[in-house]
């Protein structure tokens, strides 16, 4: 079963947005976006490919390899050869974006990723603080384990 999500780049009052079919739950997507697409340039590059089947840590496959690698994003237009007009990024204003019927909306804004619930009445909802906090705690725990392993050597 898939967990759909929208991924958006906020610029003022507009949101350049793509759809992603797989792994939209925060444990995966928030971590993936925060660790691999956490700058305006990287987020913009991600959005520029249009709708995605899945998001991985790499935008493109290694030269000479197919894009359906575990480590690589799979985009509908580039990789599945779907018509660009059906999967290109869509520009929304907040009222339209937050009405979209999707469980999670990831927005790159203010220099980082925020996750919001989708399918609301068009008002900008509060971020999903539990997901943001869980990501922060998981990241801190991983750093502690890394430090422990390094000092044990």
Exposed, middle or buried: residue 98 (CB in 10 Å: 0-12, 13-18, 19+)? buried
Q: Which of 16-20, 84-88, 113-117, 124-128 has the lowest mean pLDDT?
A: 124-128
Domain range for 84 = 5-128
Model confidence at 142, pLDDT cuts 50, 70, 90, reads confident
pLDDT at site 93? 93
Q: Are 17 and 88 in contact (CB under 8 A)?
A: no
* Total domain count, the chain: 1
Q: Would you say residue 92 lies in a domain? A: yes
Q: How confident is the model at residue 137 (pLDDT cuts 50, 70, 90)?
A: confident
Alpha carbon distances (Å) from 53 to 23, 50, 104, 130, 145:
9, 10, 15, 26, 32
Cβ proximity of 7 and 18 under 8 Å: yes
How confident is the model over 31-47, as a mean pLDDT? 96
What's residue 67's pLDDT? 52
Is the residue at 73 inside a domain? yes
**Within a domain: residue 41?**
yes
Q: Identify whether 15 is part of a domain.
A: yes
């Amino acid at each position: 079963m898939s967990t759909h999500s929208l991924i958006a780049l906020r610029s003022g009052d507009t949101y350049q947005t793509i759809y992603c079919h797989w792994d939209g739950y925060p444990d995966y997507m928030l971590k993936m976006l925060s660790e691999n697409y956490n700058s305006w340039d990287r987020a913009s590059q991600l959005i520029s490919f249009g709708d995605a089947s899945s998001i991985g840590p790499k935008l493109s496959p290694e030269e000479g390899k197919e894009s359906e690698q575990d480590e690589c994003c799979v985009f509908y237009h580039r990789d599945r050869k779907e018509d660009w007009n059906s999967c290109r990024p869509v520009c929304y204003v907040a009222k339209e974006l937050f009405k979209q019927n999707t469980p999670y909306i990831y927005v790159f804004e203010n220099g980082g990723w925020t996750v919001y619930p989708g399918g609301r009445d068009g008002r900008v909802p509060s971020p999903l603080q539990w997901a943001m906090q869980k990501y922060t705690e998981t990241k801190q725990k991983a750093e502690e384990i890394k430090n422990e392993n390094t000092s044990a050597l």
